[in-house]
Amino acid sequence: MLHLSCPYCGPRDETEFAYGGEAHIARPPTGASDREWADYLFFRRNSKGIVFERWQHARGCRQWFNVARDNVTHEIRAHYCIDEEMPAIPDSEERL
């Protein structure tokens, strides 16, 4: 069971949250090529190690926020608001 901390409500169990996938994906400009659209819609980094992802406090305040999580150990490394820059996480090289 993950314990996530909503920036607005504080720490709660995983079951209160909905997962929103990889964060910091920018929508391409109008007139982008099919390849750019495919990349935006479907292609993901899918790192092993530290991942930056969106979560929603679906059964609480319904706000979206971002989490930096280690997807091998499930350790939560950072919580930050949806409009914040990706934080620097020490020792976050991808594993193989």
Residue pair 14/59 in contact by the 8 Å Cβ criterion = no
d(CA 1, CA 65): 19
What secondary structure does DSSP assign to 50-75, as a single string? EEEEEEE-TTTT--EEEEEEETTT--
* Binding flag, residue 5, another protein (CB under 8 A): no
* Binding flag, residue 73, another protein (CB under 8 A): yes
d(CA 73, CA 35): 34
Point out which residues pair with 40 in neighbouring strands. Answer: none
Instruction: Please pick, from the candidates 3, 24, 48, 62, the single residue that binds another protein as defined by CB under 8 A.
Output: 48
* Binding flag, residue 26, another protein (CB under 8 A): no
* Binding flag, residue 3, another protein (CB under 8 A): no
Instruction: Please pick, from the candidates 8, 11, 24, 45, the single residue that binds another protein as defined by CB under 8 A.
Output: 45
Q: Which residues of the shown chain bind another protein in the complex (CB under 8 A)?
A: 1-2, 14-15, 18-19, 21, 34-35, 38-39, 41-49, 51, 53, 69, 71-74, 94-96
